Amino acid sequence: MSIIGLVDAPFPVLAGTYPPGLLTALWAIVAVVLIIPFTVRKVEENLEVFLFVMGCVAVSVTGDWSWELVLSALRDPFLITVVVLIAGLAFHFGRPYMDHHFGLLRSLLGTRAMLFAVVTGLGLLSSVITAIIASLLLVEVVHLLKLGRKEEIRLTVIACFSIGLGAALTPVGEPLSTITITKLRGDFWTLARLLGLYLLPGILVLGGLAAFIGTTRRKATLKDVHRRDPLSGVFLRAVKVYAFVAALLLLGEGLYPLVDRYIAPLPAAALFWANMISAILDNATLAAAEVGPALSPDQLTAILLGLLVSGGMLIPGNIPNIISAGHLKIRSREWAAVGVPLGLVLMAAYFAAWFFLR
């Protein structure tokens, strides 16, 4: 079976049996996907189109086109797209109401309790309202809290780690979870059962860390969150999410021979640390390439934990980082100064937890 379990693969599924020319061509595609978005600005601005084209090229190289694959790419992004659209509309029209009542809530809870509630709440809600909407809510909350710039950056990075973890609990939370569930042919709660024991405590720990950020009041906001996005932007965001997930599904299907040849044979511990590459490449892209039915549960857990935790270390690592840093004008060095040390500590903690709980 193919990586999404829907069509027969045209090449043998035993490691080492793929034609060398095929593997070379697929490695070239990987290199293009890794390099071009960081060197060509037009590609970076139209990443969904670029990934869709590369996914089509990869599937063509493997000769794995079928009606089942096409229907899967059209059908599987639908649920997360609908959730993004509904949540986006609710946020668009409900934002003035949230602005009006935020001050009252802060006065009732206090700043430190509010920081804890923001990080844990967005982390848990992201699995329902999607990581994209949770990130937009975070941007608004950062503006309303009126902290100092350093405190705002720390809060944003910590909250994005939390959102990235929580969004993986359901297939509507983020593209990574959508793609993983599709390729494993799992049910709505598959990832919650597999990862919940690891992710929920992590969200609470991040909330506790946020409570000790500090409460220095700022003189000027990070920038620029008060401008309200037009209604057309809500629909455009939903379309981009649909295209993004479809593109990654095709890319994952096409790159499956590399996964079967080089990834699947690795021990679980090596998979965990190898996926620190997620810090520089969107973790959904890596999940599309790595996750497949050939993996054992131990390997799958190690892969997903490595992707989810390291994805918060740098801005390109996941969608919450990209959205929040873009709206708040956080520079890459500023993000890395907080995200890399925190990410390394979390990676070590999660590796220890996984090692003893496996």
pLDDT value, residue 82: 86
Cα–Cα distance between 168 and 283 in angstroms, integer? 11
User: Is residue 120 within 8 Å of 159, Cβ to Cβ?
Assistant: no
Cα–Cα distance between 303 and 291 in angstroms, integer? 8
Average pLDDT over residues 16-36: 85
Residue 46 makes CB contacts below 8 A (sequence gap 6+) with none
pLDDT value, residue 245: 79
pLDDT value, residue 224: 45
pLDDT value, residue 316: 72
Extract the tokens encoding 174: 């983020």
pLDDT value, residue 8: 34
pLDDT value, residue 116: 94
Q: How far is CA 125 from CA 85, 161, 167, 312, 351, in A?
A: 16, 13, 8, 18, 25
Per the DSSP assignment, residues forming a β-bridge with 286 are none
As to burial, measured by CB atoms within 10 angstroms (0-12 exposed, 13-18 middle, 19+ buried), residue 35 is: exposed
Decide if 265 is inside a domain. Answer: yes
Decide if 8 is inside a domain. Answer: no
Q: What's the number of domains the chain is made of? A: 1
Share above pLDDT 70 across residues of the chain, in percent, rounded to a whole number: 86
For residue 4, pLDDT beyond 60: no
Decide if 119 is inside a domain. Answer: yes
| Structural domain containing residue 33 | 20-357
Q: If we measure between CA atoms, which residue out of 25, 59, 73 comes closest to residue 175?
A: 73
pLDDT in tens, 75-107: 888 877 887 788 778 877 877 777 667 666 777
pLDDT interval class at 7 (50, 70, 90): very low
pTM for this entry = 0.74
What's the distance, Cα to Cα, between the start and end of the chain in Å?
Answer: 27
Decide if 94 is inside a domain. Answer: yes
User: Is residue 199 within 8 Å of 307, Cβ to Cβ?
Assistant: no
pLDDT value, residue 324: 86
Average pLDDT over residues 292-303: 84
User: Is residue 283 within 8 Å of 250, Cβ to Cβ?
Assistant: no
Share above pLDDT 90 across residues of the chain, in percent, rounded to a whole number: 29
For residue 3, pLDDT beyond 70: no
pLDDT value, residue 219: 52
Cα–Cα distance between 176 and 172 in angstroms, integer? 9
pLDDT value, residue 9: 35
- Name, of 271-275, 312-316, 338-342, the range with top average pLDDT: 338-342
Q: If we measure between CA atoms, which residue out of 306, 315, 317 comes closest to residue 344?
A: 306
pLDDT in tens, 173-207: 888 898 888 888 888 888 999 999 999 999 999 99
Decide if 10 is inside a domain. Answer: no
Cα–Cα distance between 177 and 168 in angstroms, integer? 5
pLDDT value, residue 225: 44
Per the DSSP assignment, residues forming a β-bridge with 147 are 217
| Least confident among 2-11, 139-148, 292-301 | 2-11
Decide if 306 is inside a domain. Answer: yes
For residue 44, pLDDT beyond 80: no
pLDDT in tens, 219-244: 545 544 445 567 887 888 788 878 87
Extract the tokens encoding 60: 């063509």
Maximum Cα–Cα distance across the chain: 65
For residue 132, pLDDT beyond 70: yes
Cα–Cα distance between 84 and 89 in angstroms, integer? 9
